[in-house]
Structure 1
Amino acid sequence: MRRAAVCLALLLCLLWTGAQGEDGGGTGKKEGEFDIQGAHDQSSSQTQMRTDIWAELKKLRDMAIEHRIKIQRLEQDNTVLETKMSSSEKEVEEVKRENAAFESRMSSSEKEVEEVKRENADLLARVTASEKKSTAFESRMSSSEKEVEELQRENADRPQVAFSAGLTNAGAVGPFTTATTLKFSKVFTNIGQAYNPTTGIFTAPVRGVYYFRFNAWETRLTWTSIELFHNDKRIMVISDLHDGTGHVSASSAMVLQLEKGDVVYIVMPSSFGVYDDVFNRIIFSGFLLFPQ
């Protein structure tokens, strides 16, 4: 609008200046002389000039209107742009806030990651220590397993000898007129089959140290006595007298070093008796302590 007004003012000035120039140029008449033809021509020229001025003014008005419309559109566009800019600024602020919150969370996450890393490092250290302990334990286990296997092989190679037998279920045994080897016929255990219930004799299957235990029991009013023999040598004698108070008993044990093939057995001397029944009152037992 301003530009159009300025242009209009300049145009009017130019037109006025041109009109003045045409009046001052004259027709060559002296002052006071009246030229009818000149007056007519001047009137026609002025009319044409006014027509041209109005045409120019109309053009300027149209241009001013067009510029005003453009300016209004520009103002509307500026308003829309300013609205968009304001919205964009709000969005930018929101993005900034979100970025700040995200950075805060990132910082917190980084701290958590560092904490997790430290925990993982501690866990790794403990796992490494546990693995070392496990390796040492496995080594000891392997060594122990080897020792157990060695002992198993030794035990497998080592003879297993053990027996335990009761005398009889018949009750009273003896007295006899001669010394008699007692046959313990009720076999409870006979590992290695070294004891013979038919003869009552134990035969050492290997050279070694053996443990033997035996006892006597009697209910009759008489002496009771039994003897432990190693081969043909009497090793121990146990005896007791029944004095009428119910029963008598005696027991003992012996550790013997035997050669392979040596025998051990129980002998009841003549004129003595023992008593056994289903309650297994008299037992003869023995086992190998260790071979030599």
Structure 2
Amino acid sequence: MVWISLVLACVYFALNSPVIAFPEKTETLHGNQNWKLAMKKIEELQKIVRFQEDRINSLEKRREEPAEKVIELQRILKNHCGRITQLETRVIELESTLKKEKEPIAIHPIEQGLDSLKPTDISNNRISVFRKERLLNLQPTSLPMERVAFYAYLSTHDTTSSAIHHIIVFDKVITNVGNAYHPHSGTFIAPRSGLYVFTWTIRQHGTSYHVTEFLVDNNIVNVIYMDPGNVMSGSVTGTVVVHVNQGDDVLVRTGSNSNNGQIISDNSGRSAFAGWNLM
């Protein structure tokens, strides 16, 4: 940047020096073809400088985006570490309970004296019944199911939604229990395998129309289409009940055809995405 400015200054002073020293030649220089070419070059260099400045400003803004993603990943990692600690504590408790259950069952002193009063087989039968009753009274302990639920919508109109297979990024998060939805990418990543319910709503207006696809692990599960017919504004909603494996990506994108205009989302109606686990 600095060297370009210096070159421009040198060219400017070099070209204007004859005019200052010899005023009588001013008219001749202005009519000279070389003078005109030099001035044109200066204008082109100035445009290049402005373009480079805009480019640098754009790169500086883009550099801030990865930092936000790193912060989000750190928050998710911290949450997962807390969940792991809770599960480890629960496992220790279960191991302690299981160890106590395996300890020999104490025989009541009265039953110990039965050998001298009754035949051996009767005494053994009573001890066996006592042990079975103890085992039947044990209640199995299960880990509580962790809940997962999210809801997000478009904070502004999606002006790039006419592109093929464009992932719709529902960036405004209202609910994110389990932190499995990622607003920067518009993707839900299943924290565990199970049965889930998902729903999404797309709003259109005027000449806009779109096909939107619901994908699980890059497989199309459901498709909806909306065309208001240039006479109204409206919305369409799709719902899916599907089994999702741990680590699968779940998202909504535009289809391979029949996409035009933008997807609308404002105070008069939201384009949104939501989901939760059933079991």
TM-score bracket, normalised by the shorter chain, equals 0.3 to 0.5
Higher helix content, 1 or 2: 1
TM-score (norm 2): 0.46
